Amino acid sequence: MTADIHDIADQRPHLTVVADDGVHVLPCALVRSVIAGDKPSAILSEPVVRRVIEEWLQQVSA
């Protein structure tokens, strides 16, 4: 398995998402851009999207 590793120290704050395919660290600005429609949701992997939806559903159902 290979992974692209990027230094995102200058892109804080960020989210850590533990998905089926591993741990992903996403800048909040990127997620906000997807929410706003400025970037396509396809920029996020399917396992990341599923995990974000799962955690959101847990929060709104609690």
Higher pLDDT, 13 or 12: 13
Around 19, how many Cα atoms within 13 Å sit in the side-chain half-sphere?
17
One DSSP character per residue, 1-62 reads: --------TTS-SEEEEEETTEEEEEEHHHHHHHHHTSS-GGGS-HHHHHHHHHHHHHHHH-
In a domain, 5, yes or no: no
In a domain, 55, yes or no: yes
Structural domains in the chain (count): 1
Cα 41-59-29 angle, rounded to 5 deg: 35
Residue with tokens 């929410």: 35
In a domain, 1, yes or no: no
pTM above 0.85, yes or no: no
In a domain, 7, yes or no: no
Structural domain including 24 reads 14-61
Higher pLDDT, 14 or 9: 14
